[in-house]
Amino acid sequence: MTTVYLNGQYVPKEQAMIPVEDRGFVFGDGIYEVVRIIKGRVFAWDAHAARLANGLAGLRISDAGAESATLKAVCERLVRDNGMTDGEATVYIQVSRGAAPRTHHFPPAGTPTTVYASASVFKPNFAMRDIGAKGITMPDIRWARCDLKTVNLLGPVLARQAAQEAGAYEALLHRDGMVTEGAATNAFMVVDGVLRTYPLSHYILPGITRALIVEIIREHSIRFEERPVSLTDLHRAEEIFVCGTTTDVQPIVELDGKKVGAGVPGAVTVRIKEAFAKKLYA
């Protein structure tokens, strides 16, 4: 039996119910996080909690019930109660503006938020990380506040489905001719010997993994710029990798049916991938 968390209670998954008028369901009016748990320890919690708080503030959702200490304890207990402390797990956390009769504008002040969390066993695909994966490119059709991790995920859903149908792992998105990020990852590429990624802005999610990788890049004195890469340059990149909480560092060795570099993970990517694994499993 799987136990989940809903509004202060730990309940069997089958018994966890939310009202049909929940604004997360009707409008996608909510924020979420996905955190990684390794042997019962929440990885990079403070950064996830800060991003969640920032997202709630951005949507003007009161964070009652979603305080950092409360949610961290929820993650730890879900992993314990579901017997997942031996290996790896992920916890999905969602906070919506709550349930109220449908109006586009906010419901009355005091409407309780809906706070939900659930844990799942996670098995990283180490083989794919070593060998590399395929990617495709897609127009970035998302809204202009991609820095907020909202549950409105139609852009990523359609992009990931297209990737899946093409036998690829990730879709790299482009807006105004520039590569922003992956459908559910941040993207890095080596162009003319310099590692580059899209700068933090409203057009990408400030990835927790991305931030840790930027630290690694600095520690290793790798030539690096936070500067957009054009779609044209992406197609001649020497190396590409994508990163995220459930992706770690994933080399992309084929893009739109053509080899990236030599068609194997490149030297810069492998160096960062190994350094990141050390941080993760420290």
Q: Phi and psi dihedrals of 268, rounded to 5?
A: -65, -45
Nearer to ligand PDD, 63 or 140 (CB): 140
CB of 120 vs ligand PDD, minimal distance in Å = 11
CB of 184 vs ligand PDD, minimal distance in Å = 4
Q: Say how far apart CA 282 and CA 277 lie, in whole Å.
A: 8
Burial 112-124 (b: 16+ CB within 10 A, else e): ebbbbbbbbebee
DSSP-derived secondary structure letter, 132: -
Nearer to ligand PDD, 82 or 247 (CB): 247
CB of 114 vs ligand PDD, minimal distance in Å = 19
- Catalytic choice (72, 123, 134, 149): 149
Nearer to ligand PDD, 5 or 45 (CB): 45
Catalytic site residue 149? yes
Tokens representing residue 55 in the block: 């997202």
Given a contact cutoff of 8 angstroms between Cβ atoms, the answer to whether 137 and 119 are in contact is no
Given a contact cutoff of 8 angstroms between Cβ atoms, the answer to whether 138 and 57 are in contact is no
CB of 190 vs ligand PDD, minimal distance in Å = 19
H/E stretch holding 133: strand 133-139
CB of 142 vs ligand PDD, minimal distance in Å = 8
Helix (H/G/I), strand (E/B), else coil: 76? helix
Q: Tell me which residues touch ligand PDD (CB under 6 A).
A: 34, 156, 181, 184-186, 205, 207-210, 244-247
Tokens representing residue 144 in the block: 């202009």
Nearer to ligand PDD, 99 or 179 (CB): 179
Query: Which one, of 90, 21, 93, lies nearest residue 55 by Cα?
Result: 93
Q: Say how far apart CA 209 and CA 273 lie, in whole Å.
A: 11
Name every residue whose Cβ is closer than 8 Å to that of residue 5 and which is 6 or more positions away in sequence: 11, 74, 77, 78, 115, 116, 117, 118
Nearer to ligand PDD, 100 or 277 (CB): 277
H/E stretch holding 247: none
Residues marked active site are found at 149
